[in-house]
Amino acid sequence: MQISHPWLSFLLAVALVAAPAAARAQKMDPDDAERQRREMLDAGERGDLSTINRLITVGTKVDVKDESLRTPLYMAVLKNRIAAVRLLLAEGASVNASARDLDTPWLLAASLGHADILRAMIPYGPDLTIHNRFGGTALIPACEKGHLEAVRVLLDTAIDLDNVNNLGWTCLIEIAYLSDGGARVQEIARLVLAAGAKPAIKDKQGKTALDHAEVRKLDKLAAILRGTARKAVAGAAK
Residue 158, domain CATH = 1.25.40.20
Collapsing DSSP states into helix, strand and coil, what is residue 174? Answer: helix
Residue 183 lies inside a defined structural domain of this protein: yes
* Residues of the chain with confidence (pLDDT) below 70: 1-28, 229-238
Question: Whole-angstrom Cα distance, residue 67 to residue 45?
Answer: 15
Q: Which residues contact 62 (CB under 8 A, 6 or more apart)?
A: 40, 52, 56, 71, 72, 73, 88, 91, 92, 93
Q: Are residues 123 and 159 in the same domain?
A: no
Question: Whole-angstrom Cα distance, residue 31 to residue 22?
Answer: 18
Looking at this protein, which amino acid is placed at residue 60?
T
Question: Whole-angstrom Cα distance, residue 158 to residue 230?
Answer: 26
Q: Are residues 156 and 236 in the same domain?
A: yes
Q: What is the pTM of this model?
A: 0.84
How far is residue 162 from each of residues 79, 101, 103, measured CA to CA in Å? 30, 23, 20
Q: Which residues contact 122 (CB under 8 A, 6 or more apart)?
A: 153, 157
Q: Are residues 149 and 238 in the same domain?
A: yes
150-209 pLDDT tens trace: 999 999 999 999 999 999 999 999 999 999 999 999 999 999 999 999 999 999 999 999
